[in-house]
Amino acid sequence: MIFLDASIVRDLLSIETCIAAVEHAFRLHGEGKAPQPGVLGVHAPHGTFHIKAGTLELGRHYFAAKTNANFPGNIERYGLPTIQGVIALFDADRGTPLAIIDSREITSLRTGAATAVAAKYLARADASVVTICGCGVQGRTQLLAVASVRTLNRVYAVDRNAENATRFAREMSNELGIQVIVEPDLAVAARASDICVTCTPSRTPILGAGDVNPGAFVAGVGADNADKQELDPALLARSAVVVDILDQAVTSGDLHHAIAAGVMTREAVRAELGAVVAGKTRGRLHDDEIVIFDSTGTALQDVAAAAAVYERALAEGRS
């Protein structure tokens, strides 16, 4: 069994490699070749612990269980990251532990990768203007991921902390070579965009039904448990909704709140992303409809990314 810390993961797992791995995982799920992943949430006084587990056949049969601590106040209180945790990777045929992997980089990359896969299949082909709401580490990964699957010419950076937004705009403009504009009003930015990604810890809606133009693609990324919410239920009700894992989405995230508000039902969800990737159903039916990807985060993403890192580490003799 090997241990792979955050620096090794950072060296070995590019966003492009992660996107390919996550897309393959969604395709396997859509083809019925991946067992339903499991999830468990445990509350703590200042945050939550999430345990996600799943298996995938990737030439070798892998099982991974990720335990993540999500503590939004860590930076201010202790100077520690919001997300900390580990992934235990196993050989699923023998039950043998293969690796303990720091989960922070994988969680960030696989979450961005899921948005990229969704944007590839659900955003309009000509989508070129993006809003990123939440200009932290995840916001950076989300933008890099979307830029890997769509040719972008303008980005709007939205954050309640103006300093964060300004730093994000400067750094990402330099890294991507495109115009990144700070916009304090999310509605203004979203109305000017083809793609809108929300990745915040909000517990109340920040994007309303009138804030998104026809034809837009929206990825709601931040609401990964039942207490969080970013998208107004009325926005989901007027849109085509695609989810990562339906059983998760109906109990957590933005779909959960729309169902609780009585404006959506489980049956009204257009598809799981895996079914779209596998070609079993169409995610976007026409250019004028709003398509929402409700991203709650699935263990299949973690298995795929962890296996990619592990195999690369073995090939390069890293541990």
β-bridge pairing 38-44 and 61-70? unpaired
Domain 111-298 matching CATH 3.40.50.970: the answer reads no
Confidence grade of residue 84 (pLDDT, cut at 50, 70, 90): very high
Query: What does the pLDDT read at residue 225?
Result: 83
Nearest-Å Rg of the Cα atoms of the chain is 18
| pLDDT at residue number 173 | 98
pLDDT at residue 318 in the model: 85
Q: What was the pLDDT predicted at 90?
A: 98
Give residue 218's pLDDT.
98
pLDDT band at 82 (very low <50, low <70, confident <90, very high): confident
How far is Cα 47 from Cα 44, in angstroms, rounded to an integer? 5
Q: Which CATH class is domain 2-106+300-316?
A: alpha beta
The ranges assigned to domains in the chain are 2-106+300-316, 111-298
- Name the active-site residue from 66, 120, 228, 280: 66
Residues of the chain above pLDDT 90, percent: 93
Instruction: Check residue 242 and give its pLDDT.
Output: 98
| Token reading at 200 | 């915040």
Give residue 157's pLDDT: 98
Q: Is the pLDDT of residue 72 over 90?
A: no
Average per-residue pLDDT in the chain? 96
Active site residue 228: no
Alpha helix (H) residue ranges in the chain? 6-12, 15-30, 74-78, 104-122, 137-149, 162-176, 186-191, 233-237, 246-249, 253-260, 273-277, 299-316
Which tens digit of pLDDT belongs to each residue from 146-176? 999 999 999 999 999 999 999 999 999 999 9
More reliable by pLDDT, 253 or 99: 99
pLDDT in tens, 171-205: 999 999 999 999 999 999 999 999 999 999 899 99
pLDDT of residue 285: 97
Looking at residue 41, its pLDDT comes to 86
Query: With the CA atoms of 250, 208, 270 and 299 taken in that order, what torsion angle do they form, in degrees rounded to the nearest 10?
Result: -50
- Decide if pLDDT at 319 tops 80: no
Residue 287: other Cβ atoms inside 10 A? 10
pLDDT (average), residues 262-273: 98
pTM of the prediction?
A: 0.95
How many whole angstroms separate alpha carbon 237 and alpha carbon 12? Answer: 41
Give the largest CA-CA distance in the chain.
Answer: 54
Please tell me the predicted confidence (pLDDT) of residue 253.
86
